[in-house]
Each structure stands twice: as C-alpha cells, then as structure tokens.
Chains A and B, each alone.
Chain A
C-alpha cells in the first residue's frame, strides 16, 4: 500500500538557518504530494502541493519538488523564522479521484531566536 516516510524530529534551528525536511514515499502510479503544517493546538493547514513529476510547490518561502526518480518530496526553506515553529507533515493521495491522504509521522521544527 501507499506510505510516506519523513525524517524524525525534532529539528532545532536558529533563526535565518536553512531548512530541509526529507520525505520519501511509496505508491503505485502517480500520486499527488502535499506538505501540511500544524501549529501548536491547531488543525492542519495545507502548505504546498505538487500533482505531477517535476512540479515544484511553493508557499510562504517554502518549496518542495516532486521527484519521481527518487520518490521524494523534500521540504526546503532558505531562511526560517521563529514563527515557522510547528509540526510538518508530508502526505500523498493516490492517483484516482477522491482518494484519502496518507501521512508521514510528522517532523517537529523549533526555531530559536
């Protein structure tokens, strides 16, 4: 079945540091890939998505590129801020309509000033 593996946290960075959170997936066909963010005490918010190979999703300075050859969708940001502290989830949905999301376990990011 479909699965997502993301790097274990927690990740602690200083403000303005470069961020990478690794995510790899296993799926049949051509899934869509997502990054969701969960701030403390809140639900999930869609951060970015990519629906086909080589697509780059981007939002709020975050980027991730759908790499089919390496089955990866790593999240990057060039300069993190304290307000980016949250838990980040990589997820995929299958290649037919209305398929549910399969999530990784999440990576907690703490950014210190």
Chain B
C-alpha cells in the first residue's frame, strides 16, 4: 500500500474522445508525475508537477495535459484519443524539491487502464 490512489481503475473510450484520470498522492508529497505504460513496455514519463506547476515533460504531444491542485492531487487529461493511447497510466508521488539531490523514493499508484476503441 503506497498511499497513492488512482481513479478510475479501468475505462474504455472511443477514438477522438477526451479522458480525465485522477490521482490522490501520498499525504505530504508535493510532487506528482504521470507515466504511460504500454503493454509489454516499461513506463514512459509524461510530465511532472511540483507545487502546482509543471516542471518537466517527456516526449508527449500537447493533447496530454495535466493539473496539480493545492492539496497536491492531480489530473491527467488526454484529448483527441488515439488507438495508441491504450495503456496503463501510472501516477507517482514523492516529496521533493528541484534543489534536493536525487534518490527520492517515488511511490506509484495501481494505475488506470485505458482502452481506446
């Protein structure tokens, strides 16, 4: 049990639709990041939020967007869904700062399985 909860756990969307995934981070954690894990692959970094501001982004198009709220919970929004967006979306939280050294333990949620048909 990592204290990171995600919803929904499974959902099916149609190509072209929009989806919002939600994440509640572990208590006290100020940093949340999102990863996409395609079937049989390792997770790929989408973006990260630190104290409500995006402070890092992977190689994903602008139709992937996010928010972090004052309580540090977060949303991932994907517009104009494509078939290749079908994946497990993982939220992760940590207590960090850009000025800290690396090695912060990052805790993952169980993920949201998205299927685009």
Contacts and interface: CB of A to CB of B under 8 A. Distances in A.
B25 interface: no
A32 B98 CA distance: 15
Most B CB atoms within 10 A — which of A32, A46, A98, A101?
A98
A43 B102 contact: no
A98 B109 contact: no
A91 B33 CA distance: 15
Contact of A98 (B44, B45, B104, B110): B104
A6 to B, nearest CB: 9
Interface residues of B, number: 35
Interface residues of A, number: 27
A44 interface: yes
B103 A93 contact: yes
Contact of A44 (B98, B99, B103, B108): B108
Contact of B97 (A89, A98, A105): A98
Nearest to A95: B102
Contacts of B99: 97
Interface stretch (B11-19, B50-58, B61-69, B72-80): B50-58
27 contacts: A42-B110, A42-B111, A44-B92, A46-B105, A51-B103, A89-B43, A93-B106, A95-B101, A96-B101, A97-B96, A97-B100, A97-B102, A98-B48, A98-B55, A98-B94, A98-B96, A98-B98, A98-B104, A99-B102, A100-B33, A100-B58, A101-B33, A101-B35, A101-B92, A103-B44, A106-B40, A106-B41
